[in-house]
Amino acid sequence: MCGIAGFIDFQGASSEQDLEDMTHALEHRGPDGFGTFIQVGSNYKIGLGHRRLSILELSELGKQPMTWNQLTIVFNGEIYNFKEIKSDLEKLGHSFLAESDTEMILHAYSEWGEKCLDRFIGMFSFVVYDSKSEEIFIARDRAGVKPLFIYQKNGLFLFASELKAFHKHPQFEKKINPKAVHAYLQYGSVPTPHCIFDYCSKLEPGHFIKTSLNNFKSEPTQYWNVYNYYNKPKLAVSIEEAKLKAENLLKSACEYRMVSDVPVGVFLSGGYDSACVTALLQKDRTEALRTFTISVPDIGLNEAPFAKEVAERLQTNHTETECTAREAIDLIAELPYFYDEPFADSSAIPTTLVSKIAKQHVTVALSADGGDEVFAGYNRYEMILKYGEKLNKIPSFARKGLASVMELVSADSIPVLKNKYNFAQRYEKTKSILRDTSDQNIMLSVSQLFTEQQINKISTQKFETLQTYFDSQELTNHSPLAFAQAMDYQTYLLDDILQKVDRASMSVSLESREPLLDHRLIEYVAQLPDDYKIRNGSKKWLLKEIVHQYIPQSMMDRPKMGFAIPIESWLKNELRDLLETYLSEKKVAETGLFNWGEISRLKHSFLEGRKEYGVKIWYLLSYLMWFERWGK
């Protein structure tokens, strides 16, 4: 895993120093090496930059940018099955200098063109320049594990693993997109393919750009789509067949992600997802896996006893680190630097902490993200199954009539209920769902924090909707559960979970790998019947059945904890000074986007006891801290 950056300048004004500055901005992603490539073409200047985190082929033969014949590449990520592909290429007459997946990509692209992507099992974003044909090829992995940002204006095309690299280019125009700010307030991140700045975007997962530099067109082409697998008819397989097939795919995915020339460990929380990864990897190994857990007992974040019990059962080499609340709080000031697009998921704090601990022992760590999306583990899935059908049985006129009555009665005027935690927010979402019980609207309602009406109050600019994956009409043959899973895979997983893990791990130069996001796994599980995923109220049922073969159910059955952070308490106490500094009339006015009167009201209500406003205050604080660092 590394950091990549570069430019295609059709005005020819970009310099080698510009390229070096952009690339060095990503040093935390790749502290082990640095390289650049610049060439002047017929009507352009191209620059490719790379920061290296050495994982495979530690010698100079793995250095990037790498050139073979007329092809030059910068590559971030891993192709786990590169040895098999390399063998196939050797049979076709290719010869190699080293054991590098980067070198393999160059040969695979020369042999198969963009179709090489269909053969890759891995996480990646890369750029290949063909100096002979004067073409550029840019690609991102299927799930979007590896990021790639793009900037285009006035004949300048920039790309980078993180936005901060763009700030180092003198022609980068930093102009905040108000619609993206509104979307951030809804989702806690800016949804793909959009970006916080105008003229910027994210290359979508499962897409590539291939274009001639003499007739440059940057429209992406899709080569993989998770919806295709949810649209297929459900497989007529027995439970035992499904369990065996899923387990074999899981084993393969986990084993591939152990390929490395440096030490590898596993994040172990004690929950089903990480226990599954650990159990499958330890099963046939004589050497104990390195597993890692953190706890922050003084804030109630303590899965360590459960992780220890699982580790002892599986006989791993387990490291347990206890952190203090102060250590977690001290990280908050660092977050805007590494999360250089507004990001409000507070679990970035413990994710960064556990990454720091793991980095002391290993360079690569396997994480179990994606299990909830692939195998149906979120509480909202059960809620959708439980209440969605009941709501649709109520006549439309009755539902909409009730919503109209609720519109006349504010949440704050309802006795007793108005004092219940988060009642006003639930009241607004209930009205929305009563008006429209479509799968799309239900998912939007459970996914958004600030509503359109609330944003119009808080913003100085009228709310305008950004088109997101929620608007997709590609799902044609789906149940409510399949719709929710597919939406989460394309939205929450991509823009929240994967962004969080990438920035947290890369902040300490740790490579994080995601076996549960192996595309072969989702392609299969998406086609399984819904009741193999949620059965008799048990979420992730199929995955649990696999885990119970290695770890007793009695050891695993407990409430899901997650990386919860007591943000409401911190904002009133330990973070009060930070809150007062940033949620001030002066700082809010500097953004030019927010109505201080409404923010002041929210802040006052929260400090006076309306703790349900805590997450909204955190969203606003996170944005204002980001703006101070990157937006001015």
Q: Which string of DSSP letters, residue by residue, matches 441-474? A: HHHHHHH-SS-HHHHHHHBSS---PPP-GGG---
Q: What is the pLDDT of residues 469-521, one digit of tens each?
A: 998 889 887 799 999 999 999 999 999 999 999 999 999 999 999 999 999 99
Task: List domains and CATH numbers for the chain.
Answer: 2-224 (3.60.20.10), 228-376+484-556 (3.40.50.620), 566-632 (no CATH)
CA dihedral 616, 620, 623, 627 (to 10 degrees): 180
Q: Is the separation of the CB atoms in 418 and 411 below 8 Å?
A: yes
pLDDT of residue 300: 64
Has residue 584 got a pLDDT over 70?
Answer: yes
Looking at per-residue confidence, does 264 or 252 come out higher? 252
Contacts of 110 (CB under 8 A, 6+ apart): 68, 69, 71
pLDDT tier, 262 (very low <50, low <70, confident <90, very high otherwise): confident
Q: Which of 19-33, 300-314, 565-579 has the lowest mean pLDDT?
A: 300-314
pLDDT tier, 298 (very low <50, low <70, confident <90, very high otherwise): low
Residue 624 has phi, psi (to 5 degrees) of: -65, -35
Looking at per-residue confidence, does 566 or 93 come out higher? 93
pLDDT tier, 244 (very low <50, low <70, confident <90, very high otherwise): very high
- Provide the 8-state DSSP code for 34: E
Has residue 328 got a pLDDT over 90?
Answer: no
The DSSP line for 519-534 is: HHHHHHHTTS-GGGTS
Q: Is 621 exposed, middle or buried (0-12, 13-18, 19+ CB in 10 A)?
A: buried
Percentage, residues of the chain above pLDDT 90: 74
pLDDT of residue 57: 61
Q: How many CA atoms lie within 13 A of 276 on its CB side?
A: 30
| Residues labelled as active-site residues | 2
What is residue 76's three-state secondary structure? strand
Has residue 422 got a pLDDT over 70?
Answer: no
Q: Is 286 exposed, middle or buried (0-12, 13-18, 19+ CB in 10 A)?
A: exposed
pLDDT tier, 560 (very low <50, low <70, confident <90, very high otherwise): low
Q: How far apart are the C-alpha atoms of 483 and 470, rounded to whole Å?
A: 10
Question: If you compute the radius of gyration of the chain from its CA atoms, what whole number of angstroms results?
Answer: 25
Contacts of 372 (CB under 8 A, 6+ apart): 273, 378, 488, 540
294 among annotated binding-site residues = yes
Which residues share a beta bridge with 40?
Answer: 45
Q: How far apart are the C-alpha atoms of 249 and 268, rounded to whole Å?
A: 20
Q: What is the pLDDT of residues 592-619, one digit of tens each?
A: 999 999 999 999 999 998 888 899 999 9
Q: What is the pLDDT of residues 68-110, one digit of tens each?
A: 999 999 999 999 999 999 999 999 999 999 889 999 999 999 9
Q: What is the pLDDT of residues 526-541, one digit of tens each?
A: 999 999 999 998 999 9
pLDDT of residue 346: 92
pLDDT of residue 147: 98
Q: Is the separation of the CB atoms in 520 and 119 below 8 Å?
A: no
Average pLDDT over the chain, rounded to whole?
92
617 among annotated binding-site residues = no
Tokens at 73, concatenated: 């590449």
pLDDT of residue 301: 67
First vs last C-alpha separation in the chain = 31
Contacts of 289 (CB under 8 A, 6+ apart): 265, 266, 278, 281, 282, 314, 316, 317
